[in-house]
Structure 1
């Protein structure tokens, strides 16, 4: 008898028996496999199947429902039917509840075909997540778990904080100096959700100059899912990692004048981790809540820094994190016993208001020569569609369209931007690819003696794929209302690198012009000031527009990763802003 060809047909969910819910008290592994003998109703569903049949039950894309993809693989052997179902945390974009039934041709009872299909689905479930708009920046810094040597154990500090053993906790969190260094720092884990065992990793460097009085500066990386170890080793921390894993001193580290707190945020980023899918943030409220818990515990452990001025800083996608946590602190400070001495925020190349940035892309990319007239028309059409999706609150469709246009992380081919420019790097107009030395720190953090020193043990370093997966609906949402309230009440610095493409200075100004805050009218009339570091300088460091406690700065010669491109100018900028030194040359 001739065998039928494989085909797909839709089937109503009502034909399926009730499914057992995945366990709610533990993180599902990448794949959970269970065999069972199907009910009569399920056998009826497969009555026309010969060989291997696969049913895919695709959960709704509303991540708030915490739904999980379920895959059935069923083997037909004559009148017998044996099914295997797989429960996995699968990202199923653009699907609502539906069932797809596929019959694969092959002889009856083909066990090999079933296991082949099973193997392919395992590979699918285990495949890494794609890179999003800003997370691609961190993909080359691969951090692996050491196969040899002793990486030590993870240090969880919350038990010491809760039991009042603060001195003991601080002593344990002290990082032994690396060879040739005499630098004090502290690191460890703070538990922010016991139900899901969600833990945030921090690395804290007291200021080199007057640490007892120096402002405490929190640094948050972008992504979503970018580790702040990137900021520490690549941008403004005390260390620079060479290709041969030697540590060099940075010329202008921010740790000179500020006590720098580097945090892997949100939960699931870098060395931060959770044991449950519900532990991942799905919006900026979740991000702020977890981070606030970590900060409160941090200032309990390091109580002598509690009264110091506190600033929240970050770049790129942290343009959402920074206003979120600042607004959370602003809201809770009046009603809680434990106050955080928030004085202001600093945002670099901030992706705070995606819609205004997306609307400005076509003209900007055309003006700097990356698009021609025809390409601009196509880009304009796609950006218009993306903005339309945002207005309709179709967040995933907007995110996916933007990805196809710029990054290409969700597709198997280069993005439109990559095709028409020939470049994968949109962080610096003068570079087509990311500099190699920006990834050296990954190998350094893989060394067992380093892991032992910073108290992370053999913890897997996450590339941020899961963090991004759960935050995708958040990606194109704006935090402008929160940022507006912060601008009305605190010092705010918003800065851009002159050579940034993906969040260019003109796109940031486009957003600022549309904001309604108490200084908005004065800002629109404010004159731009030329900024030089020294009176004797021939080179201009950048341009400043200041209104009361708000400063907008454009730094010449720098891109998206500004402190990497322009370390001295970045150092001078952040010091002038925080210490209120003005913008006149020294």
Structure 2
């Protein structure tokens, strides 16, 4: 009965057709055919409330990870949207500080869908090309946003896609193909340099007392095998070995939570990974890539979230084709991208910085996937620069950006936690068009773990007080 009341409340609060709303509408949504047989879904919330009208605030596009995780579902109802998955108002929603555009990307993710397997994307270049079609369509139809500062925020594999999208968007804007005021990109716990993350897993877990000497040796050996496959250019094999390395970690840590090392996986998430719900498939002898999907795509499709999206939300939206199930093609999305999964995009970030695009990197202290400790056992104590080196920082130190030497010399500044002003919530430093935020007491999904701090960071990145 409570669930029915909540669903009814949502329909009353947000219901009605898009075209019937008074201008400016509170929200809008739709599909864009980005290629033949490839249909991408988007959902926009206009900024409002005490912060002022949407015209005084930026527009932020949020990209989820996976690949195969739904921005319109997980990012919206689990992280930064106006309502949580229980349909209760979220105090730390980003709609307070920006209009937010969620896109189910790549095609096949969330409510986005393809008509055939041939239409799935295979790499970030295809992902970026599809997004240019969507953004061209969006800004042409929503002309009120053309002059508003536009930022891309991302999480996990979404950061890898965001970097590639930002490069293509910069070109498209200069060529007049997309009319928007592109202001910057923010890469959250992002899969920019996969190998740098994998090689730091063992030292990170060892330094936090989650591995003993034997476990460190086993994890390091498995990670070295991944490194060898990458060096050989065998990226599909590298993805499979990535999964096997995670299995070694699970065996040696009694099943550490990859998203937040101090948090146990919820029962809901465990059921999802175990194979219940619409994504569930027997997995007693899954191949490596199937295990990856179970660990990193299906937790973004928790059973309760799936029921919400395929129930009241589907009814509310009113445009989802009858044959489309939210998240129904997520596994296929991941499988199609597995040859791209372990490829680095550090060079793409360099292109952005060279083009003077504002780039922000932010990372959770307790994240394991994109972790925050040194590359080798020796780095547990001291790196060559005289300080601890984090997993994310390792690829940053590989940048060819001319401002990097001065950035590295800067001392970070503390930020108070808005939820508890007596304690530090993060550290950050910035130089010219590059900034780095270390978010404390947060894992892979920073807005879920530290919503107030994430909102404060958003305001800072988008140059709000």
What TM-score do the two structures reach when normalised by structure 2?
Answer: 0.80
- After superposition, the Cα gap between the structure-2 partners of 1:184 and 1:454, relative to the gap in structure 1 and judged at 3 Å, is farther
1:495 to 342, 348, 362: 362
Alignment of 1:309-348 (within 5 A): 309-348=149-188
Partner of 1:481: 347
- Whether contact under 8 Å (1:173, 1:188) holds in the other structure is no
Partner of 1:32: none
- After superposition, the Cα gap between the structure-2 partners of 1:533 and 1:361, relative to the gap in structure 1 and judged at 3 Å, is closer
Compute the displacement of 1:551 (Å): 1.3
Partner of 2:423: 539
Distance 1:561 1:448 in 2: 25
1:513 to 397, 404, 407: 397
Partner of 1:287: 127
Structure 2: which 5+ residue stretches go unaligned?
1-15, 270-299, 373-389
| Higher RCO (CA 8 Å, separation ≥ 6 residues) | 2
- After superposition, the Cα gap between the structure-2 partners of 1:434 and 1:508, relative to the gap in structure 1 and judged at 3 Å, is farther
Compute the displacement of 1:174 (Å): 4.9
- After superposition, the Cα gap between the structure-2 partners of 1:224 and 1:271, relative to the gap in structure 1 and judged at 3 Å, is same
Partner of 2:411: 527
Partner of 1:241: 85
- Larger deviation, residues 542-551 vs 464-473: 542-551
- Larger deviation, residues 467-476 vs 271-280: 271-280
Partner deviation per Cα, 1:517-555 (whole Å, 9 max, x = no partner): 121101211101111156992111111121122111111
Distance 1:210 1:554 in 2: 31
Partner of 1:207: 47
Residue 18 of structure 2 is aligned to residue 186 of structure 1: no
SS at 1:474's partner residue? coil
Residue 317 of structure 2 is aligned to residue 453 of structure 1: yes
Partner of 2:212: 372
Compute the displacement of 1:511 (Å): 1.6
Distance 2:89 2:221 in 1: 48
Partner of 2:263: 431
Compute the displacement of 1:486 (Å): 1.3
Partner deviation per Cα, 1:11-49 (whole Å, 9 max, x = no partner): xxxxxxxxxxxxxxxxxxxxxxxxxxxxxxxxxxxxxxx
1:469 to 317, 335, 345: 335
Partner of 2:454: 570
- After superposition, the Cα gap between the structure-2 partners of 1:240 and 1:337, relative to the gap in structure 1 and judged at 3 Å, is closer
SS at 2:56's partner residue? coil
SS at 1:299's partner residue? helix
SS at 1:239's partner residue? coil
Partner of 1:306: 146
SS at 2:66's partner residue? coil
Compute the displacement of 1:397 (Å): 1.0
Partner of 2:252: 420
Compute the displacement of 1:344 (Å): 0.3
Compute the displacement of 1:275 (Å): 0.8
Partner deviation per Cα, 1:426-448 (whole Å, 9 max, x = no partner): 11111131474883322111215
SS at 1:298's partner residue? helix
Distance 1:225 1:385 in 2: 26
1:504 to 357, 371, 381: 371
Alignment of 1:118-197 (within 5 A): 173-174=18-19, 184-194=26-36, 197=37
Distance 1:535 1:468 in 2: 36
Figure out how many residues of one structure are paired with residues of the other and give that number.
Answer: 393
Compute the displacement of 1:424 (Å): 5.2
- Larger deviation, residues 423-432 vs 350-359: 423-432
Distance 1:449 1:367 in 2: 43
SS at 2:326's partner residue? coil
What TM-score do the two structures reach when normalised by structure 1?
Answer: 0.64
Compute the displacement of 1:333 (Å): 2.3
**Could you say which structure has the larger radius of gyration?**
1
- Whether contact under 8 Å (2:18, 2:25) holds in the other structure is no
Distance 1:565 1:494 in 2: 17
Distance 2:195 2:420 in 1: 42
Residue 70 of structure 2 is aligned to residue 227 of structure 1: yes
Compute the displacement of 1:188 (Å): 1.4
Distance 1:373 1:174 in 2: 62
Partner of 1:36: none
- After superposition, the Cα gap between the structure-2 partners of 1:457 and 1:536, relative to the gap in structure 1 and judged at 3 Å, is closer
Distance 1:435 1:524 in 2: 42
Compute the displacement of 1:307 (Å): 1.3
SS at 2:423's partner residue? coil
Partner deviation per Cα, 1:276-332 (whole Å, 9 max, x = no partner): 222111111100000110011011111111111111111011121100100111123
Distance 1:201 1:578 in 2: 25
RMSD, matched Cα: 2.3
Partner of 1:355: 195
- Whether contact under 8 Å (1:405, 1:417) holds in the other structure is yes
Residue 248 of structure 2 is aligned to residue 402 of structure 1: no
Partner of 2:293: none
- Whether contact under 8 Å (1:426, 1:432) holds in the other structure is no
SS at 1:248's partner residue? coil
